[in-house]
A and B are shown apart, each in its own frame.
Chain A
Amino acid sequence: MNRALAGLVGALALLGLLTGAAGFGVPDPLILWQLRLPRTLLAGLIGGGLGLCGAVLQGALRNPLADPGLLGIGGAAGLGAVVVFYWGIGAAFAPALPLAGLLGAGLGCAVLFAFTGRTPSAPTLILAGVGLSAIASALQVLALAFAPNPYALAEVTFWLMGGLQDRALIHVALAAPPILLGGALLLRLGRGLDALALGEETAASLGVPVARTLALAAGGIALVVGAGTAVGGGIGFVGLVVPHLLRPLLGERPAALLPASVLGGAALLLAADLVARTAPLLLPLAQEPPLGVLTALLGAPFLVRIARRLAP
């Protein structure tokens, strides 16, 4: 199963390198290196990271509705980016945007742990995440309400919808280390997540350090989602839908879903990005549809189909 998913990711990545605004086929080396490679790498990295985050968070909270966005880290990263747009720093210094996103995610993570305290449990983690999301989105709207010019408003709104066009290798360099580090942290949590299926107290009786497992999960998700949002904007739904797509194929044991969710998330985002790139070539569109919108449009029908099959 994982091998088939890896093959799918490879095929989609290759297709991604061969497709773009210049048409299909092997592109000019400059286009390949400056545009298509960073874009394909980012789609794979962010998608894989988001899929993994969804599988970890659903396992940690024992809730199939959990989405990495629930913890509010994406919102905090978005807030950092909005601040950059607000003062127009991005125009002067391009990497300011992803850097501010990372900074926002880091601050958001600190606030999240300040809310949950030293020993997080599933309910405190959810409530702290909801609180952080509310604060981040309120401050985003506040910044938009006081936006100095209407262009900033439009720019911010479009950025928040998520997208990977015009990203360069510098974005990959900024996003890859936190995503890889966070992913490595999260992939080690499988055994603890399996035990948590029986509840936090039973997991503790099995010798699993529950609070530490939840804190590592939240920290790893903060790294991955923060870095992903900082360079890709708000790409939703991947983390929610990917574990659901995989459960009918692999069973419901959380640890078994982790590596497959990396591959599944990467495949989903590569596919969505491919659709985003080819849409202006095939349809009379002035520009690419936002990636976050496409992931929802691609993922939701599968989710509904699974829900219908589960219904008695």
Chain B
Amino acid sequence: MIEWRGAPVSLGGRVVLRDVAFRAGAGELVALCGPNGAGKSTLLRALAGLLPGSPPQDPRRVAWLPQGARSAWGLRVAEVAALGRIPHGDARPEPVARALAACGVAHLRDARIDRLSGGQARRAMLARALATEPAVLLLDEPTADLDPAAAHEIMALLRATAATGCCVVVVLHALDLALHHATRLVVLAEGRITADGPPAEALPAAAAAFGLPFGTDLAPRLLPPGGRRAE
């Protein structure tokens, strides 16, 4: 379980989060959607305890993966994943191996992360967060600049993680990913939550937040792997 019910947050003189009350529980996969500048990443940082003034979180319980996470050095994939054990102060190989296997990069464990494709590197970074074995997983745009199939794979992995009892909160731009994989969709606009509910119900509000028309059409469209058809 993770919660934010903080005072308004200002960054650089601009109010980024207003009166936001957010709470997510075990087993949920919550998608945070909204236009650029809506305060999604700030809310995620607030949840992670990384804002000045936000209560610090126990790093063993809460793992945070920023947008475009990268390593300054050409670490091996297994070394990157092992960084996730730092909060526990141990170097147990089992959680690291499990995280690598869950993210499908066990065969790349000795590869340098700076020599991998974008999708593989992102999986390695995700393995770092999973290796902590957190109760709460906070991810900022884990599917940005991935091809559609890879994005769906990452989301399926997150859904499986949530199904094990982890609380997963994901900032997403791609509404279709939120619609197909999330258990709950929270829409942020101008620092406020404008909708919160099952993805299909919150979708009109999300469309409104993005300034997009909302409706149904019968045009042919891509489906997710093994896909349910979008309503």
Chain A positions near chain B (C-beta within 8 angstroms): 59, 62-63, 191, 194-199, 201-202, 204-208, 251-254
Which residue in chain B gives the minimum CB-CB distance to A205? B64
Our count of residue pairs bridging A and B at CB distance below 8 angstroms stands at 65
- Given A205-B59, A206-B59, A206-B86: A251 in contact with B66 (beta carbons within 8 A): no
- Given A204-B50, A205-B64, A208-B86: A198 in contact with B59 (beta carbons within 8 A): no
Q: Is the beta-carbon distance between A251 and B64 smaller than 8 angstroms? A: no
Residue B203 CB within 8 A of the other chain: no
Greatest chain A CB density within 10 A among B65, B69, B83 is at B83
Q: With a CB–CB cut-off of 8 A, which chain B residues contact A204?
A: 50
Q: What distance in Å separates the Cβ of B227 from its nearest Cβ neighbour in chain A?
A: 34
Q: Is the beta-carbon distance between A198 and B50 smaller than 8 angstroms? A: no
Q: Is the beta-carbon distance between B74 and A252 smaller than 8 angstroms? A: yes
Q: Is the beta-carbon distance between B75 and A206 smaller than 8 angstroms? A: no
Q: Per a CB cutoff under 8 Å, which of B45, B69, B87 touches A198?
A: B69
Which residue in chain B gives the minimum CB-CB distance to A62? B72
Kindly list the 5 A-B residue pairs having the minimum CB-CB distance in the complex, ordered from nearest: A207-B59, A62-B72, A252-B73, A205-B64, A207-B87
Q: Is the beta-carbon distance between B87 and A197 smaller than 8 angstroms? A: no
Residue B79 CB within 8 A of the other chain: yes
User: Within the assembled complex, what's the spacing in Å between the Cα atoms of A200 and B28?
Assistant: 29
Q: With a CB–CB cut-off of 8 A, which chain A residues contact B73?
A: 59, 62, 197, 252-254
Q: Is the beta-carbon distance between A201 and B50 smaller than 8 angstroms? A: yes
Which residue in chain A gives the minimum CB-CB distance to B88? A207
Q: Is the beta-carbon distance between A251 and B76 smaller than 8 angstroms? A: yes
Kindly supply a per-residue 1/0 record for chain B positions 24-46, scoring 1 wherever the CB is within 8 Å of any chain A CB and 0 otherwise: 00000000000000000000010
Q: With a CB–CB cut-off of 8 A, which chain A residues contact B80?
A: 198
19 pairs across A/B with beta carbons < 8 Å?
A62-B72, A194-B86, A197-B71, A197-B72, A197-B75, A198-B69, A198-B70, A198-B128, A199-B72, A202-B69, A205-B63, A205-B64, A206-B87, A207-B87, A251-B75, A251-B76, A252-B74, A252-B112, A253-B76
User: Within the assembled complex, what's the spacing in Å between the Cα atoms of A119 and B49?
Assistant: 17
Q: How large is the interface on B (under 10, 10 to 19, 20 to 34, 35 or more residues)?
A: 20 to 34
Residue B48 CB within 8 A of the other chain: yes
- Given A197-B71, A199-B72, A253-B73: A205 in contact with B83 (beta carbons within 8 A): no
- Given A206-B59, A207-B59, A254-B73: A199 in contact with B66 (beta carbons within 8 A): yes
Which residue in chain A gives the minimum CB-CB distance to B74? A252
**Additional pairs, 19, CB under 8 Å, beyond known A206-B84, A253-B75:** A62-B73, A194-B83, A196-B72, A197-B71, A198-B70, A198-B71, A198-B72, A199-B69, A199-B70, A201-B45, A202-B65, A205-B48, A205-B59, A205-B62, A206-B83, A207-B60, A252-B74, A252-B75, A253-B79
Q: Is the beta-carbon distance between A191 and B86 smaller than 8 angstroms? A: yes
Q: With a CB–CB cut-off of 8 A, which chain B residues contact A253?
A: 73, 75-76, 79
Q: With a CB–CB cut-off of 8 A, which chain A residues contact B63?
A: 205
User: Within the assembled complex, what's the spacing in Å between the Cα atoms of A251 and B115?
Assistant: 14
Which residue in chain B gives the minimum CB-CB distance to A196? B72
- Given A251-B79, A253-B79: A207 in contact with B86 (beta carbons within 8 A): yes
Q: Is the beta-carbon distance between B86 and A195 smaller than 8 angstroms? A: yes
Q: With a CB–CB cut-off of 8 A, which chain B residues contact A199?
A: 66, 69-70, 72
Q: With a CB–CB cut-off of 8 A, which chain A residues contact B75?
A: 197, 251-253
User: Within the assembled complex, what's the spacing in Å between the Cα atoms of A194 and B80?
Assistant: 9
Name the interface residues of B65-109: CB closer than 8 Å to any CB of A.
65-66, 69-76, 79-80, 83-84, 86-87
Q: With a CB–CB cut-off of 8 A, which chain B residues contact A207?
A: 59-60, 86-87
Q: What distance in Å separates the Cβ of A121 from its nearest Cβ neighbour in chain B?
A: 13
Q: What distance in Å separates the Cβ of B224 from its nearest Cβ neighbour in chain A?
A: 30
Which residue in chain A gives the minimum CB-CB distance to B58? A207
User: Within the assembled complex, what's the spacing in Å between the Cα atoms of A196 and B71?
Assistant: 9
